[in-house]
């Protein structure tokens, strides 16, 4: 088989067959097919697309390019959740303990933040001592014993995606629904869970800028997952504004803990309860969404969800005292409150701008090699839909270094404040 024939075929808009896709992925991982040839094929896919059969074949070939987690030693149904990434998205820290407290095991491998999007591992590492690097056998044991573990990728999972995502990043070939769907789903399938709930975000602070594209991506990922024999559901949710109020690692852990104490922001609670209800119903632990919601709310009200978080933190070496006393988490030395310069309704808080501004003061990474500061970030004092008076606090900046005038201007510019209340999009647009 010649790789140039695959490039020619895709250039003409023809579908690659199963053997050709397997030849591509094997050859790329073992180094016999070079980057420049794969780049040409990826660019042809950007323009010509892939059909469902090709997308599933690509996902399966990537999934089997390395280790596949064997979770069969874990009793019962195992669930996983994936968010396509956003600003202030600390859902896993809340949702995992809630579903585990309701008896559904969450076996989750998470990633680090890059650019304006945060990563669950960075958030967890703001808890002193917390270890994200568990061996596969310890991961399985912990999920069995406690019902929850959240770790970094373990073993040699999906090396094809690692190599190809890095190539896509520098060749303008990230933005293709079949390529994004196969990249995400190959990792989810290799991680081994039976139930997968996807939170596909749209808006300024998301990968997919429109609801239509988010829906197409969600539908493609659902078809892949079901084609591979897993139970998959998806939510289409808004990332026009940050989720919750906190952006930044320790600040988000604090907000997650407060949410498990029953004092969370309304949007974060709604997203966690909806995702959790999808997990409980798909896992067969609740007969419908209403029953699931009741179970999850009870797990927060009776403290069992918070206790699950404590158990996980303890098992993974973290300082458990910060869970009951989140004010003990690391604190940035400086705090600056930014106030509104007019009266009006907040009709927008630009998630992309706020995510980038938080990254610039050290909460996130511009490149994979950058260090981050766990204690810095932003806390919104007012959210879209709120009314503010001139002089009311808009956002509190937790920082280590002096803030420049340009940065402060950009921060104020991220809020749209109008005399009249505007129409705000619903947080959850659809459930598939």
Cβ at position 109, least distance to ligand URA in Å: 12
Asked if residue 277 binds ligand URA (CB under 6 A), the reply is no
- CB distance 194 to 78 below 8 Å: yes
Contacts of 300 (CB under 8 A, 6+ apart): 98, 259, 260, 261, 262, 306
For ligand URA, the nearest residue by Cβ is: 183
> Exposure pattern of 358-386 as b/e (b: 16+ CB <10 Å)?
bbbbbbbbeeeeeebbbbbbbbbbbbbee
187 catalytic? Reply is yes
Cβ at position 193, least distance to ligand URA in Å: 16
430 catalytic? Reply is no
- Work out which of 184, 224, 313, 315 binds ligand URA, going by CB under 6 A: 184
Site string for ligand URA, 4-43 (x = CB under 6 A): ----------------------------------------
Asked if residue 59 binds ligand URA (CB under 6 A), the reply is no
Contacts of 41 (CB under 8 A, 6+ apart): 3, 6, 7, 10, 24
Contacts of 230 (CB under 8 A, 6+ apart): 189, 193, 194, 195, 196
82 catalytic? Reply is yes
Segment lying near ligand URA (by CB under 6 A), choices 15-23, 175-183, 382-390, 405-413? 175-183
Site string for ligand URA, 191-230 (x = CB under 6 A): ----------------x-----------------------
Segment lying near ligand URA (by CB under 6 A), choices 19-27, 34-42, 152-160, 172-180? 172-180
Positive or negative: CA dihedral 162, 167, 169, 174:
negative
DSSP class of residue 241? S
Segment lying near ligand URA (by CB under 6 A), choices 70-78, 179-187, 359-367, 407-415? 179-187
Segment lying near ligand URA (by CB under 6 A), choices 35-43, 178-186, 218-226, 321-329? 178-186
- CB distance 326 to 257 below 8 Å: yes
168 catalytic? Reply is yes
Asked if residue 189 binds ligand URA (CB under 6 A), the reply is no
- Return the closest-CA partner of residue 238 out of 270, 204, 213: 204
Q: Would you give the end-to-end CA distance of the chain in angstroms?
A: 40
Asked if residue 171 binds ligand URA (CB under 6 A), the reply is no
Asked if residue 63 binds ligand URA (CB under 6 A), the reply is no
């Amino acid at each position: 088989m010649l790789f140039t024939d695959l490039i020619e075929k895709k250039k003409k808009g023809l579908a690659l067959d199963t053997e050709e896709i397997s030849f591509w992925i094997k050859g790329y991982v073992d180094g016999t097919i070079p980057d420049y040839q794969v780049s040409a094929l990826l660019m042809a896919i950007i323009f010509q697309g892939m059909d469902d059969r090709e997308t599933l074949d690509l996902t399966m070939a990537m999934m089997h390019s390395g280790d596949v987690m064997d979770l069969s030693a874990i009793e019962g149904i195992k669930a996983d959740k994936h968010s396509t990434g956003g600003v202030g998205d600390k859902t896993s820290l809340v949702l995992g303990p809630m579903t585990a407290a309701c008896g559904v095991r969450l076996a989750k491998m998470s990633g680090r933040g890059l650019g304006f999007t945060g990563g669950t591992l960075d958030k967890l590492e703001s808890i002193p001592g917390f270890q994200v690097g568990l061996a596969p056998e310890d991961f399985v044991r912990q999920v069995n014993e406690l019902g929850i573990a959240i770790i970094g990728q373990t073993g040699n999972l999906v090396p094809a995606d690692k190599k190809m995502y890095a190539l896509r990043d520098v060749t303008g070939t990230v933005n293709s629904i079949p390529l994004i769907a196969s990249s995400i789903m190959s990792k989810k399938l290799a991680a081994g869970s039976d139930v997968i709930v996807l939170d596909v975000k749209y808006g300024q602070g998301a990968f997919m800028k429109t609801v239509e594209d988010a829906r197409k991506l969600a539908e493609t990922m659902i078809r892949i997952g079901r084609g591979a024999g897993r139970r998959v559901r998806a939510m289409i949710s808004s990332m026009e504004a940050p989720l919750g109020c906190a952006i930044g690692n320790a600040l988000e852990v604090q907000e997650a803990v407060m949410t498990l104490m029953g004092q969370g922001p309304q949007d974060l609670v709604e997203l966690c309860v909806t995702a959790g209800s999808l997990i409980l119903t798909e896992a067969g632990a609740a007969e419908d969404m209403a029953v699931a919601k009741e179970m999850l709310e009870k797990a927060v009200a009776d403290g069992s969800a918070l206790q699950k978080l404590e158990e996980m933190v303890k098992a993974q070496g973290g300082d458990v005292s910060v869970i009951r006393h989140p004010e003990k988490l690391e604190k940035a030395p400086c705090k600056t409150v930014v106030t509104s310069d007019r009266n009006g309704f907040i009709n927008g808080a630009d998630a992309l701008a706020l995510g980038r501004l938080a990254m610039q003061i050290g909460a996130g990474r511009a490149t994979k090699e950058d260090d981050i500061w766990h204690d810095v970030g932003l806390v919104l004092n007012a959210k879209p839909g709120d009314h503010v008076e001139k002089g009311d606090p808009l956002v509190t900046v937790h920082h280590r270094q002096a803030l420049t005038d340009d940065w402060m201007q950009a921060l104020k510019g991220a809020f749209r404040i109008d005399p009249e209340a505007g129409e705000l999009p619903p947080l959850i647009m659809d459930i598939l």
